[in-house]
Each structure stands twice: as C-alpha cells, then as structure tokens.
Chains A and B, each alone.
Chain A
Amino acid sequence: MEKEISIINAIVFDPLNNIEGEKLDVHIRNGKIVESVGRKARKINASGKTMMPGGVDIHSHIAGSKVNTGRLLRPEDHRKDVEIKTKHTHSGVGYSIPSTRTTGYRYAKMGYTTVFEPATPPLKTRHTHEELDSTPIIDKGCFPLLGNNWFIMEYLRDGRLDECAAFVAWMLKATKGYAIKIVDPGGVEVWGWGKFIKRLDDPIPNFDVTPREIVRGLCKVNKMLNLPHIIHVHTNNLGSPGNYQTTIETMDAVRDLADGKRPIIHITHVQFTGFSGSSWVNLGSGAPEIADYVNDHNHVSVDLGQVIFGDTTTMTADGPFQYFLHQLSGNKWVNLDVEAETGSGIVPFQYKRTNYVNAIQWGIGLELALLVKDPWRVFMTTDHPNGGPFTSYPKVIAWLMSKKAREKMISRINRTARRRLDLPNIDREYTLGEIATITRAAPAKSLTLMNKGHLGLGADADIAIYDLDPSKVDLENKPSTIRKAFKETLYTIKNGKIVSKQGQIAGNSYGNTFYTESQVSKNLEADLMKDIQSRFKDYYTIEFENYPISDGFLRNPAKINCKADV
C-alpha cells in the first residue's frame, strides 16, 4: 500500500488550525501529515468534497464486561442487523451493541478514527482490553471507574491526598487506563447494599465520605498527576426529575479549583442529568439552566448523550439507576457489582417519539448543544448505546445543522413535550466548522491527544473525506444530504492508509490503545505499595501480583507519560 498520499483541492474544516472551508491540498507520508510528498504519491482528487480530521468519540461504550453482557443478554438485538463476511472483513452483528469487528468497521465508515470506552471496572479491565484489541482500525483507550473505589474513598476520608494521587497513578498503570472516570460517586458503593443516595452531601455509609468530597478529591488528584484528560463525571441522581440541579451543584463543587487555563471537570451525557421538574408528570428540560452555567463558567465541559428514538440497550456503571430503569420499564435487567470498586447494570430500552418523557429527553440533548455557546466545551455523543447507537450520529448532525430537520421531528413528538420544550424557539444552526469542532477537534483537545483532531503538519494522518460540497448545497434546507454524507465517507484514512472507501472496508488493521502513566516520586510510590499490599488481600479476591495487566498484554499499546507534582 502507498506510503504517500496527496489529497488535492479538498474543502477543509480543521478548527484547531482555524481552517474553515478553505480549498487545500494535504499530503501524507508514513502515517503523518507532511509539507510535501514525491511525485509518485497516490493522488486523491477531493474537489468539491468536505475534509475533516478523523472523528474522535470521547464517550462510547464499545468494550468490556457490561458491553459483552449486553450482547449476551440480547440475541434479539443482533438478529435484525448482521454483517456478512467478505474477503477483507469479518462477519458480525449490530444493532445497538455491535460485535467488536463490526464496531471498528462502522466507526471507520463514518469517518471516526479514535474512540474511548468511558467506563471500565478496573478489576475487569483485562476484558476491556481484550475487546479493544479485537476492535479493528480505530485507535482507542478506556477510563477506569474510580469514583466508588474503597482505597480512594478511604484516602480521601483520611485526608491523604498524596497517597490517593499515587494510588490513582498506580491504578491507571495497572489497568492501562487513560483517565479518571467517576460514576455516581459513592452511590454505587451504597447500591452494593441495594440502597440509594441522592445528594452530593449524603455521607457514604461505612466510608464516612461524601460524593462532593470524592469529586473534589479526584479533581485535585487529576491536577496533581497532570493527566491528559480531566475528571470525567457521570453525576449522582442520574435519570431523576430535578437532577439538573445535581449537575450544576457537581460542576460548582470544583469551581474554586479551576485555574482558568482549561476545563477541570467534564460532565458526561448531560442530557440524562438535565431533567427539571419534580416528577415524571411535570418533567421538563433543565438544559437552559445547565447551558447558562456552562456559558458562565469555563471550568466545565459537557457531552450530550443525545437520545435517538428507537430501540437500544442502556448500560452504565450506575447500577442503582439501571435497577430503577428496570422497575420503570419492566424490561429485563442485568446487574454486575464489582468488589471494592464499582458496579454496572444493563436494561434494553425503547425511546418513543410519542412518550412524553422520551420526547423531553430528546429535546434536552439538542437544547444543550444549541444553547452552549462555545463548541469547544460541548461534544457530540449519544453515550452509545445509552441514548442510541453511534451509527445515529448523522441524524444528530442533521438536527444540529438544520432547524428544518428539527422541526420535522418536533412535529412528530409527543404534543405536551412539544409545548413544554424551548427547542422550537431556538434558531441556531451549527456550521460545518462547528460540527468538526464538536466531533473531533474539541474532544481530541480535551483528551490532550496532540496529534489527533487536526490536520496540521505532524498530525496523525487520520482523515475523513465526505461527499459534501457546502458551496453547492443549502445544507440547512437539505438535512437528508447531511445525513447521507456523514453516514459513509468517500475515504477514511487512518495512519496514512485508506481504511474505508465509499463504505468498503479495506482490511483488518489495528489501531493503538492509549494509556497514561503518571510518575509520582519514588518515596511516595514505595510507601503506597506497602500500604496497598497490606490491605489488598482484605479487599480483593485475587492476589496483588495478579492484578496489574502485564506489559505484553495489549496488541498496540501507546503510552502517554506524565510527570506528577507529588
């Protein structure tokens, strides 16, 4: 395969380099974007085609214990959506929980080249990596769940912040994880007893620490370790009417820790924690209030968790929420608690246009995207598969870019929801540049993936070329053109190689798995090891020596080194 490619006359959207719709040539050599290439380079004529950096999905459940249990739970999900084996590709199944190969192919076809699994139970992260290793084409990484970890809660209770930081560094290293994920802080531990907590200042029984202290503590730890991403938080109280207040309180809980340079807390799938009202009957959108807060405070970023009408499989580490959803829906339910660390739950779910609550949820996601002014702090996700499968992204892009597309859907949703949402009054339409920001540039920046999300010299040659000429199409009036273009690239290029051409996958290459190592001082590390080892047997049912994932375990590991302040 060619080592050099020239893409000629593309209409480029590269927000990190302030390029918005300029006609440019881009050259590739050995997987990187370079100034120029030789004459023999393969030429791709991209006249009248839109070119962006490869998509970066910051939050998509594609691998690990709960994803696979979701697959096992739902043969009915797979039967309606199969992929047949070809000469170059493996067979597989969709729909909402695609098999690993199908996941990689479908992302690549849409022009996505980097995807992060945002919730891995540390004890089961070997499993997560086995699946990530089995997912072709895309680069990936995973966020270990640390918001209900016994060691961490105890260090924070005892005010031992340095040890807590060293422990997190060890955890990331041991699990080959990328960032700190917090899900329902403290609440999953309480669910270990089948009980619930709702408020940020509710003490966690047996641990004498509050969700607020966990979020603040890990936010400080994140800074002490100089990690590439920020704390990635799924708040308490998810899925309950009125929870937009918990979201704002959680964001506000770390406001004083901000240094003004960049956000310090990411609130994920904020749609699910953007409910106003006090019951399902008077449920409303808390998006305007959340957006106001985000607009006024630059220490926060969010992603959408957009709802797509139709059938999907919900799965989160928020075990108590999933039980609640099981009781609410009557659908089958899986619960998987993990010793000393976390939990998870799975419930199949159908979002219905005509259902009042579901229609409000659909509106909340879009309102958030449209009301948050800074596209660098709001990322497009469906919290795959919770809001809907990632293959629905073209629909979301069309809704964001076209008021006409929104109006069409609004006319079909539940009448009461239609009346109560602000969405019909919002005129904003995203530009292609803003779409490029919320789908690749901004998430790459938030993850500090320096060579991703842009097309500058030295960047990874991860590129999506879409069959879309913005100078010829009146996009806001042609949502079907938007959907069609973003569904399947003309070319997806990964590491300088064409991996997908008009929806045809070229073969089975495998991307990198990013993980973080933050080096703390030798003394602190030695003290920590002593402390962990003295208690490890009391907490876990496996031996300390068998816990860390060995270095040779990952197919293509890509380590990001950081220097800790402690």
Chain B
Amino acid sequence: MSQEVISNVICTVCGCSCDHLQVTIDNDKIVKVKNACAMSSGKMLGYRNERTTQPMMKKGTTLKPTTYERAIDVTAKTIIKSSSPLFYGWSLTSNEAIAIGVDLAEETGGFFDNTTSTCHGPTILGVHEIGESSCTLGEIRHRADLVIYWGSNPVHAHPLHMSRYTVMSKGRFRKSRSDRKLIVVDVRKTDTAKLADVFIQLEPNNDYELMVALRAAVRGDEIEQETVAGVSIDKIEELAEMLINCEFGALFFGLGLTMSAGKSKNIEAALSLVTELNSKTKFVIMPMRGHFNVNGANNVTTWLTGYPYAVDFTQGFPRYNPGETSAVDLLARGECDSALIVASDPISNFPYQAAKHLTSIPLITIDPHITPTTMCSNIILPSAHVGIETTGSTYRMDGVVLETRKLVDPPKGVKTDVEILSALLKRVKSLTR
C-alpha cells in the first residue's frame, strides 16, 4: 500500500489546536508528522501504544474480557441503580460525545463534571464575578505589541503558542519578535522566562498581592511598601508604565496563577487589571487551556445546562455550585455511588481522598489507553482517539471550533466515544422508560 500524506491536520493535544500538521500514513498507520511540536508528535506517533482494545469487566478481583454489549448493559444497570452517579472527564473527547454525556447525566439524575474543576475552574469563577476582555488568538498575532505569560510556561506546555499566535508570529500590524515585548511573571526562571524582555520573579503564592499592586500602579495610586511579593515598587511601576503605554497588550495565564494560593481571587485580580487597562489602552486576557477540548466541554455543558462544569442533575434540573457539586468535592465527601469516567485519568490526578473513594464504588472507564484509572475500574470500554481514529469537533482555547478528521481506523473492533455513549444512553432509556 502506498503512503498517503494528509495536510492541515488538526492536533488534539493542547488548547492551541494547531491545524497545520502534515501527517504521513502508511498501511493505516501514522508514520511521520510534520509541523508538529514534541507533544503532538509524541501523540501522533505513539497513539497505538498502551491501548485498551478489549472491553473488560471485573469478576471477583480480576478483569475478564467481555463484549461492548454486555459491558454497556451492566454499566447502564449500575448507573440506574446509583442514587448519585458521577460522569467525569470529557476534555479529551469531542463536543458530540460531551453532549451525549450531559444527556446521560440528566437522564440518570447524576453529576456532570469535566476536568475544568481541577484546572481552570477558578478562572471561570473569576469570570462569573468580573467578566473578561478577550479575543481570538489572531487578534493577538495581528495587533499585540506586548505579551505577558503569568504562571505559564508555553515553551513546554503549549510549544507552538508563541510562534503561531504571539511574540514570534507574523501579523498584519506586527511583523516580528522585535515589534513586541515579552514579559514573563513566574516563581522560577522557566525556559519561557529565558526568552523574555522582562522577567519578574515573584515569591510563590504571592500572585494576588503582585497583581493588585500592579493594578494600583496602573491606576496611579501610590504604594507605600518597598516591595510586594518580593518585587520592588520601582519594578512594579515600570511594568505598569509598559502596560499602559502599549498599543495592544495580552495577558496569558496558566495554572501557576489559577492554582496557587488565592485561586479564583487571583483570577479576579487579573481580570480586573485587564478590564482597568482598557480605559487606557487595548488589553486582553486568556487562560492557557490545557486539554485540547476542555473549552469544548465547558461550552457544550453551558449551552445545554447554563453552567460550564460541576452540574448537579439530582433534582431534575441543572444546579451549579463548584466546591459542592464538583467531582473532587463529591468524591472526597464520599457521596457518589458510581462513576463513569470518559477520557480522563482521575486516579492519577485527584487528591488521595477523592481517588480512594473512586476505587470503592463501581468505576467504569471509557478511554483509549491503559491508565491507573482503567486499572482500578470495574468495567473498561476501549475507545477510539478523537482526531486520529474518529472525527469530532473541538474548541481551541479562544473558542474557535474546528472539525477534526479521521486519519486511520481505530484498532479492530474498538468503538468511538459517541458510539459507546449513544448505546449506553439508549440502554438506560430502554431500562427506565
């Protein structure tokens, strides 16, 4: 069989959704990837490793092979029997799958949460309070003459972000790196910080203080301390001057801001700073979303329920109270009595208390790979990779939606998330109606 080269392939790793990959396929396998970052190449060339390919179900203490039909039937019965099932994950699958997941949670009166609750959840809480001045990434590419990365290290976490969308990109009004200033604020000198024109090293867990001081300086208020968060007032004022005097500024932030002390308060301070800056110049802000479709998970859940994550259907209508209705909190309190995990690995990522409870309840996982979560599961439903083995639409970190393609077939017999979830919803309805 001859080799086939496919262009303009959309990457399904991080929130950058780069769509200029060139993939070579030989004998239904991806053998070469061009234009991709290391993370993307790793996935594109390694997607066949450590796969789950056979539906499995626990008998006693060991997992035994079964069929999709049987596994879906038992899953449906397990969920129906539960008083508060949890449906968690969703950030590494398609919008179509997420929408079915929401309906499943609604139908069974459970909790629907995505990985936002353990990453940019505080960002969303901040937006509820303040709003956000934002844009698509192209606006930054064309117009921004000042870019800040705060608590974010794109060189490693979003490797093509700077070259495609920010300081190293070529836009209509900014042609090159020398037309832009790069400011990095972090607790350590990261590889991104090494490229910066200005690097501000702050003391850990003092982001809120620094952000508020910076806002005070932008407003022209006098600050009476000599340093804030280990940064001298002179430096803060100098930074404020840079922000005010740029033509178009962009503040990107990562989990360094979102998950350090203060959490949503840090984000409120950042959003307020950027809102304030718009009275003096043009300024935008954007979270550096991690998983390729975590933004899609937020969007789909929002249009169906009004809320972006941590949705509680137990009373027959959508309810939302992160901290109470979010997965980690529910599990840590021991409330959920079954869990369906889709495209996520909470056993690896959740706090001990929450992960422990997951292992004590019926745990069903739909995932392409063998993970600590599949290893702890009572039922494993193998699935195809979205954007490699099946189609599906996804949201870039700035809300631009792309239709990913199917490049190769999934492993023999393996179904897609959409197929599995549709069958499960159908089975649930047939058992309950």
Contact = CB atoms under 8 A, between A and B. Distances in A.
A93 B317 contact: yes
Nearest to A540: B138
Interface size class of A (residues with CB under 8 A): 35 or more
Nearest to B304: A99
Given A72-B302, A84-B316, A334-B133, A323 B393 contact: no
B393 A334 contact: no
A332 B143 CA distance: 25
Given A194-B281, A206-B173, A338-B136, A130 B393 contact: yes
B106 A553 contact: no
A549 B173 CA distance: 28
Interface stretch (A75-83, A264-272, A284-292, A511-519): A75-83
Contacts of A77: 306
A281 interface: no
Contacts of B136: 123-124, 336-339, 541
Contact of B134 (A84, A126, A194, A334): A334
Interface string B1-41: 00000011010000000011000000000000000000000
Interface string A129-171: 0110010000000000000001000000000000000000000
Contacts of B278: 194, 323, 335
Contacts of B124: 72
Given A75-B307, A346-B131, A193 B141 contact: no
A306 interface: no
A256 interface: no
B305 A546 contact: no
Interface in B188-207: none
Contacts of B165: 541
B172 interface: yes
A543 interface: yes
B400 A123 contact: yes
Given A75-B128, A85-B316, A546 B19 contact: yes
Given A192-B143, A194-B282, A545-B8, A124 B316 contact: no
Contact of A332 (B129, B137, B306, B320): B129
Nearest to B21: A543
A542 B19 contact: yes
Contacts of B247: 193
A75 B401 CA distance: 24
B265 interface: no
B170 to A, nearest CB: 8
A432 to B, nearest CB: 35
B131 A130 contact: no
Contacts of B130: 332
A280 interface: no
B132 A78 contact: no
Nearest to B103: A90
A72 B317 contact: no
Contact of A75 (B173, B306, B316): B306
Interface string A101-138: 10000000000000000000001101100110010000
Interface in B122-181: 124, 127-139, 141-143, 164-165, 172-173
B129 A193 contact: no
Contacts of A98: 306
B127 A72 contact: yes
Contacts of B402: 126, 542, 546
Nearest to B248: A193
Contact of A126 (B19, B20, B401): B401
Contacts of A73: 127-128, 131
Contacts of B134: 334-337
Nearest to A206: B173
Contacts of A430: none
B299 interface: yes
A335 B135 CA distance: 7
B302 A124 contact: no
Nearest to B307: A75
A98 B299 CA distance: 14
A261 interface: no
A553 B135 CA distance: 25
Interface string A545-566: 1100110010000000000000
A71 interface: yes
A298 interface: no
Interface string B278-314: 1101111000000000000011101111111000010
Interface in A57-102: 63, 65, 67-69, 71-75, 77-78, 82-85, 87, 90-93, 97-101
A538 interface: yes
B380 to A, nearest CB: 30
Given A323-B278, A339-B142, A543 B106 contact: no
A110 to B, nearest CB: 20
22 contacts: A68-B299, A73-B131, A84-B317, A87-B433, A93-B318, A99-B305, A99-B318, A101-B304, A123-B400, A124-B401, A127-B395, A134-B304, A192-B248, A192-B282, A333-B133, A334-B133, A338-B138, A339-B136, A339-B142, A541-B137, A546-B19, A549-B403
Given A72-B128, A553-B403, 9 more contacts: A77-B306, A85-B316, A92-B306, A93-B307, A93-B318, A126-B401, A326-B275, A335-B135, A543-B8
10 nearest A-B pairs in the assembled complex, by CB-CB distance: A339-B138, A194-B282, A93-B306, A337-B135, A126-B401, A332-B131, A78-B306, A82-B317, A541-B138, A543-B8
